Amino acid sequence: MSFSDIFKTSFLENVAAISVLDMVLALALSFGIGLFIFFIYKKTYAGVMYSSSFGVTLLAMTMITTLVILAVTSNVVLSLGMVGALSIVRFRTAIKEPLDIAFLFWSIAAGIVLAAGMLPLAVIGSVVIGLILLVFVNKKPHDNPYIVVLQCDGQESEKAAMDMLRQAAERCVVKSKTVQAGRIELNAEIRLKNDDTAFINELDRVPGVGSAVLVSYNGDYMG
């Protein structure tokens, strides 16, 4: 019995299905594109706490996708088995930022296109997507919305605080009002005048106002 008889012929054929040069070139390019995606993610991140591990995940995702697609394109039978194997994988990590989903799909798409041999599409497409994200994500709106949280002891203090708030802000809209045991809590969306926040100090001095909190608003309540 020879060495070839120990393994199946198809196994030995798959060893040389992809040349070493192709593997090194594909992985090197996927590393470069993944590093570019990681750089764009770091520059455009606008959340509360930056996670470096997610950025490294984007880099690894690009290279892993390239590795998988290289194996799939070299063998049709393997591609069918790969679909069945990957179908049982479940990811339970919660994605808190909607933009993170776009970066994940970008990494996967770049790995697929690169492994398929479409190098210009992978490189030029990634550069265009990165530039678009840099322009639009980092673009700050002219009027940043804020939420003011007021706690008042009664209706008179509420009226005085709201009058002062309407004079200090360009626009003021009450979003919610809670009354409990004689105490009133108001949430109002405002637009600042020249980014001046000194009126919060004055609100705290209004008789009957227990607290005044100014919170930056971008869809979630976060400072």
pLDDT tens digit string along 136-149? Answer: 886 655 567 888 88
- Per-residue pLDDT of 108-124, as tens digits, reads 999 989 888 888 999 99
Q: Which domain holds residue 183?
A: 145-216
Shared domain for 24 and 130, answered yes or no, is yes
The pLDDT-based confidence of 43 (bands split at 50, 70, 90) is confident
Q: What's the confidence (pLDDT) of residue 132?
A: 92
Q: What's the confidence (pLDDT) of residue 221?
A: 42
For 205, the token pair is: 């001095």
- Per-residue pLDDT of 79-103, as tens digits, reads 655 655 555 556 666 677 778 888 9
Domain boundary among 85, 105, 137: 137
Is residue 3 over pLDDT 60? no
Q: What's the confidence (pLDDT) of residue 202?
A: 81
Query: Of residues 177 and 97, which shows the higher confidence score?
Result: 177
Number of structural domains, the chain? Answer: 2
User: For 123, phi and psi rounded to 5 degrees?
Assistant: -75, -55
| Surface-to-core class of residue 78, CB atoms within 10 Å of its CB (0-12 exposed, 13-18 middle, 19+ buried) | middle
Of all helices (H) and strands (E), which one includes residue 11?
helix 9-15
Query: Of residues 78 and 220, which shows the higher confidence score?
Result: 78
Domain boundary among 137, 154, 175: 137
Determine which of 22-26, 53-57, 95-99, 103-107 has the lowest per-residue pLDDT on average: 95-99
Shared domain for 37 and 106, answered yes or no, is yes
Q: Identify the CA nearest to 68 among candidates 17, 22, 111, 35.
A: 111
Shared domain for 102 and 161, answered yes or no, is no
Shared domain for 100 and 199, answered yes or no, is no
Shared domain for 24 and 89, answered yes or no, is yes
Q: What's the confidence (pLDDT) of residue 115?
A: 85
Contact 17, 70 (CB under 8 A): no
Q: Identify the CA nearest to 107 among candidates 31, 13, 187.
A: 31
Shared domain for 17 and 105, answered yes or no, is yes
For 121, the token pair is: 């599409």
Q: What is the CATH number of the domain that holds 208?
A: 3.30.70.260
Q: What's the confidence (pLDDT) of residue 106?
A: 92
Shared domain for 162 and 98, answered yes or no, is no
Across the beta sheet with 209-216, the strand order is 171-180, 183-191, 145-152, 209-216
Average pLDDT over residues 6-11: 51
Q: What's the confidence (pLDDT) of residue 222?
A: 42
Provide the mean pLDDT of the chain.
79
Shared domain for 62 and 152, answered yes or no, is no
- Residue 204 falls within a domain, yes or no? yes
Q: What's the confidence (pLDDT) of residue 147?
A: 87
Is residue 38 over pLDDT 90? yes
The whole-angstrom separation of Cα 113 and Cα 27 is 13
Q: What's the confidence (pLDDT) of residue 4?
A: 52
Q: What's the confidence (pLDDT) of residue 78?
A: 60
- Residue 162 falls within a domain, yes or no? yes
The pLDDT-based confidence of 131 (bands split at 50, 70, 90) is very high
